[in-house]
Amino acid sequence: MDVSWRRREKGPLLAAILALAVLGAGSLFLTWQSIERQREALDEHMALAGGAVMHGVEGQIMRLMRDLRSGPGAASLMPLLASELFKDMAGLEDISFIGLYGRGGLLAAASGEPPPELGQRLPDQVLAALAQNGRWSRMAGSGEDQVLLLARPARPPLARACDLARPGPGRPAQGPPAVLTVGLNAKRHLARFDQSRRAAMIQAGYVLGAALLLWGLGFAYLRRRDQARRLSGLERFQSKLLDSMPDGILSIGPAGEITAANGSAAGLLAAPGERTRLIGRKWSEFPFQDLCQGPEWRKYDHQGRRLEMLCVPLQEPAGPQEAPERLILVRDRTRMKALEDDLQEARRLAEVGSLAAGVAHEVRNPLSSLRGFAQLFAEKLAGDQTLAAYAETMVQEADRLNRVVTDLLFLARPRDLAPRDLDLDAAVQDLFRLLRFELKAKEVSPRLDIEAETVFADPDALRQALLNLLVNSLDALPDKGGELRLASRRGADAKGWPGTWLSVEDNGPGMAGEVRDRALEPFYTAKEKGTGLGLAIVQTIMRGHKGLVEIDSGPGQGARLKLFFPDPEAGDERPAA
């Protein structure tokens, strides 16, 4: 069975993805900013270091010149002194180049060839930067051979000495008179920067990896939770579906114990009006031992119900010695059996109706003629006692035969009923007045136990039904010592429909089991002079009221026949019995 589910985790999942994207972008941005700041700090540190070197070189040159007592001759020695000083400093690890430029070009250097970015004469862009910013810097080279080139104008004392060192008419008119340049080896600094950058990237990767892991775990958790919710919902749906099924379902374990059962199974296997717990009980406690001997539906009468059951294997056994798990389906066919019985009775009544129609047509007209002649003979033969008795017997038998025809016609075509609230005491007293001679002949004083004072029934139909029951009880009573009791009670039938119960009891010989089971069938009777239609008519009347007829009797125990008349509200909804 497919079950649709609404996805409720889409919002949190999108929020988690957005949070991950923001976290990743933020981590990368912060890492990039940190690397940029470290590179700026590195460049600033190297620039400060280069400035310190140039400041120291400038101070050393000026000190040497002071030692030589400045003059025209000292200025000509300045480039030589600067070259010697530069050569000594060029041996340092961090200094790859150091030089002094004048207006005419390179005055002194640690090596013969300056870097291409500087040349023998300072390029115009360098001079322009010096004129605008008072300093110039640039990273030259590539890879591990990168060098930070720095240049700044010399202070006035050194500038004047440089201006006097190489005078000449071709001297350029623009640019500072003296420029100190230095080239710092960036290998060691860049190595540290690379280490820092690598550490920052590893840290960012760790954070991003942790975020991805957390996101993956969160996504897996959401999926598992969604699956768990679906599974729980499916289990609840299946549980409600099984519990709401009208048919019972049970599973029997290998040891014969009941491992699962729905509510309908408990209700069908329990006694009426009781609830029982089936889980854990042994299946052998129930009288259905031959159920699993074949894969076909079997019918059982259990606790007043007609059950139809099927046993099928649920799972193959794990070993040859183990019994298989079994699934048992239970259906309540009580109502179906009642309908089948009703159908059979309807067929019998249809046959009776067909027969009654023929009897009424073929018998009643000649019967009326015979009865008329019998009355005439009785009047003519009034002086002859024997012949008059014969004629009177003919009249009585004709009347009895007419009643049989009338009962047949009632069974074939029962009239429409118009039930209403009736006073039971008045209706019963009227019946006893009608039967006063029969009661006197049997010396019976009927006892009344009227607890429910009214009943919802058709007046004529109620009178006919009670009359048939009372006549049958009087026929079953002995000539002396008979007891007859009529009672009424409020109550409900086996299915809980409210109504009124009427009962007629006697202390006659009772009924055998076969007679009791067939007492409501047309033309079946155990009496010598009975027609077998009285109780059949009562059954037809009660079906018209959507009521019930119950017989409680046994050999030597008397008989009690109960009639159930449902209330009008219940009768409108209650199916015909």
pLDDT tens-place string over residues 481-516:
788 889 999 988 877 788 999 999 988 888 887 877
Tell me how far apart the alpha carbons of residues 193 and 171 are, in angstroms, rounded to a whole number: 43
Tell me how far apart the alpha carbons of residues 48 and 46 are, in angstroms, rounded to a whole number: 5
Tell me how far apart the alpha carbons of residues 168 and 486 are, in angstroms, rounded to a whole number: 158
Residue 501: the pLDDT is 92
**Angle (CA) 278 280 281, round 5°:** 60
DSSP annotation of 282 reads B
Per-residue pLDDT tens for 287-329? Answer: 887 787 777 888 888 877 788 888 888 776 665 666 678 888 8
Beta-ladder partners of 449:
487
Residue 130 has pLDDT above 50, yes or no: yes
- Alpha carbon dihedral 411, 559, 343, 568, in 10-degree steps, equals 80
**305-322 residues labelled b (16+ CB within 10 A) or e (exposed):** bbbbbbbeeeeeeeeeee
Residue 169: the pLDDT is 46
Which of 549 and 315 is assigned the larger pLDDT?
549
Find, among 93, 92, 97, 95, the residue nearest to 111 by Cα.
97
Strands 447-450 and 484-492: parallel
Instruction: Over range 69-88, report the average pLDDT.
Output: 69
> Which has the minimum average pLDDT: 1-5, 56-60, 183-187, 260-264?
1-5
Query: How large a percentage of the chain has pLDDT more than 70?
Result: 81
Q: How confident is the model at residue 170 (pLDDT cuts 50, 70, 90)?
A: very low
Per-residue pLDDT tens for 22-62? Answer: 777 777 778 788 888 877 887 788 788 888 888 888 887 77
Residue 242 φ then ψ, to 5°? -70, -40
Per the CB < 8 A criterion, the answer to whether 285 and 266 are in contact is no
H or E stretch covering 195? helix 187-244
H or E stretch covering 423? strand 420-423
Residue 6: the pLDDT is 47
> Which has the minimum average pLDDT: 76-85, 244-253, 496-505?
76-85
Token couple for 163: 């201006």
Which of 550 and 363 is assigned the larger pLDDT?
550
Instruction: Over range 264-284, report the average pLDDT.
Output: 74
Per-residue pLDDT tens for 179-232? Answer: 888 888 877 777 777 787 788 788 777 777 877 787 778 778 878 888 888 888
Which of 434 and 405 is assigned the larger pLDDT?
434
Which of 362 and 258 is assigned the larger pLDDT?
258
Per-residue pLDDT tens for 368-401? Answer: 777 777 777 777 777 777 777 777 777 777 776 7
Tell me how far apart the alpha carbons of residues 487 and 489 are, in angstroms, rounded to a whole number: 7
Tell me the whole-structure pTM to 2 decimals: 0.43
Residue 171: the pLDDT is 45
Q: Hey, is 523 helix, strand or coil?
A: coil
Per-residue pLDDT tens for 464-476? Answer: 888 888 888 888 8
Per-residue pLDDT tens for 153-163? Answer: 888 877 777 76
Residue 2 has pLDDT above 50, yes or no: no
Residue 274: the pLDDT is 61
Tokens 């109706």 correspond to: 353
Residue 255 has pLDDT above 70, yes or no: yes
Beta-ladder partners of 315:
325
Mean pLDDT of the chain: 77
Instruction: Over range 246-259, report the average pLDDT.
Output: 83
Per the CB < 8 A criterion, the answer to whether 524 and 530 are in contact is no
